[in-house]
Amino acid sequence: MRRNRHSVGYALLAPHRSASHARSARLKAGCGGLPLRSTIVFCIALLAVLGLGAPAARAVETIAVRLDAKVTDLLPAVERQHTDNDRIQLSTAPGADGVVRRIEVRTTDGRPQGNWVTFALANNTDEQVDRLIVAPFYRMVGSGLFWPDLGNRRILSLTPSQGFKPERQAAPDADVFAVTLDPGSTVTFVAELTGPNLPQLYLWEPNAYKDKVNSFTLYHGIVIGIAGLLALFLTILFVVKGSVMFPAAAALAWAVLGYIGLDFSFWSKVFGLSPIAEQFWRAAGEAILTATLLVFLFAYLNLNRWHVRYMHVAAGWLVFLAALVAVALADAPMAAGIARLSLLAVAVAGLGVV
């Protein structure tokens, strides 16, 4: 009988004990079998890390415009950004009142993604300042060897945080925008780019930029005139002498003249070439320049008298360069990269033979 009472008591206490064990198990077990306290601490730490890792809105660095500065390189101070949608949101540089505002700029043609640069200009003087923001289309130095940058329009639009929108100025070789800064104002600019590359960006004083353009126009005219006279002189020598070296030299001179005219934007002014068309002609010009240099070295060194294989190699090389001109129609940067490598190979081979 006593045994039965103990059995009944145990049976009555067993459900309570099992429920207590279940609650304690649930309290001790968290995510993945961890104790609940450890799980809570882990979740708090994770939220803290995520909160610290979230990018904070930073104000744009301000560039003070000086009255005595004729040109300022803006590229080291700009911030490059890429967005996967058709807009960009950023905080402006603080003005004279110290207030940082939030602005949003959308792409001009509704593209699903955009490349941007942002910068801020501050006029800390008591005078109104007029400046030109200039982004040249092409720069040979630093353009690259493999898939080089052959030049293009750089800035599609330039949007200020306040005031009137900058006016685009007519220029054959650069994107030029006229901006006006009121006394004591700080303006943040958002530039929408045509691509990820922006090799140059300058802030010019208008009169200084006009003088620079005029001086370079004179220099370009002198160089093109000398190159043209040299090409014409070598062509006349070929007609008079009839030696095989003179037509090769004349062809090289004409190729150099064509490439110089393209690099100086002379042909774009004469024929109205677009920046995209200039990419093809630049790649084709480099291939033609390499081919004429190869022919000149072959004729000058009389390689056909050394061995017949030199003639076969030169003929195959010329066919390859001619095909490269056709490749430039489909992919101008790739063709230009191959042409530059070929030009380097021709120069090294010529030095080796000499």
More confident residue, 1 or 125: 125
**How much is the average pLDDT of 191-203?**
91
- Dihedral (CA of 265, 268, 269, 271) sign: positive
For residue 90, what pLDDT is reported? 84
Radius of gyration, alpha carbons of the chain? 35
**How much is the average pLDDT of 27-45?**
42
Instruction: State yes or no: pLDDT of 137 exceeds 80.
Output: yes
CA distance 175 to 168: 7
For residue 317, what pLDDT is reported? 87
For residue 54, what pLDDT is reported? 33
CA distance 63 to 128: 16
The model's pLDDT over 73-84, given as tens digits with 9 standing for 90+, comes to: 999 889 998 888
Place 256 in a pLDDT band, splitting at 50, 70 and 90.
Answer: very high
Q: Which of 70-84, 113-127, 134-148 shows the lowest mean pLDDT across its residues?
A: 134-148
Q: Which of 2-6, 120-124, 195-199 shows the lowest mean pLDDT across its residues?
A: 2-6
CA angle 13, 19, 23 (to 5 degrees): 145
Q: Which of 19-33, 92-106, 172-186, 216-230 shows the lowest mean pLDDT across its residues?
A: 19-33
For residue 91, what pLDDT is reported? 84
The answer to whether 186 touches 99, Cβ cutoff 8 Å, is no
Instruction: State yes or no: pLDDT of 199 exceeds 80.
Output: yes
Looking at every residue in the chain, the average pLDDT score rounds to 80
For residue 132, what pLDDT is reported? 95
**How much is the average pLDDT of 103-120?**
86
Q: Is the full-model pTM beyond 0.85? A: no
Place 103 in a pLDDT band, splitting at 50, 70 and 90.
Answer: confident
For residue 347, what pLDDT is reported? 84
**How much is the average pLDDT of 343-353?**
82
- List of residues 6+ apart from 152 with CB closer than 8 A: 137, 194, 195, 275, 276, 279
Query: In terms of C-beta density within 10 A (0-12 exposed, 13-18 middle, 19 or more buried), how is residue 136 classed?
Result: middle
Q: Which of 241-245, 333-337, 346-350 shows the lowest mean pLDDT across its residues?
A: 241-245
Domains defined for the chain, CATH in brackets: 2-53 (no CATH), 62-204 (2.60.120), 210-353 (no CATH)
Comparing CA positions, the residue from 122, 186, 117 lying closest to residue 158 is: 117
- Pairing of β 114-122 and β 62-64: parallel
More confident residue, 317 or 33: 317
For residue 282, what pLDDT is reported? 92
For residue 303, what pLDDT is reported? 72
- Here the tokens at position 314 are 């030169």
Place 354 in a pLDDT band, splitting at 50, 70 and 90.
Answer: low
The model's pLDDT over 264-278, given as tens digits with 9 standing for 90+, comes to: 888 888 888 888 888
**How much is the average pLDDT of 125-137?**
92
Instruction: State yes or no: pLDDT of 24 exceeds 50.
Output: no
For residue 60, what pLDDT is reported? 66
Place 6 in a pLDDT band, splitting at 50, 70 and 90.
Answer: very low
**How much is the average pLDDT of 26-45?**
42
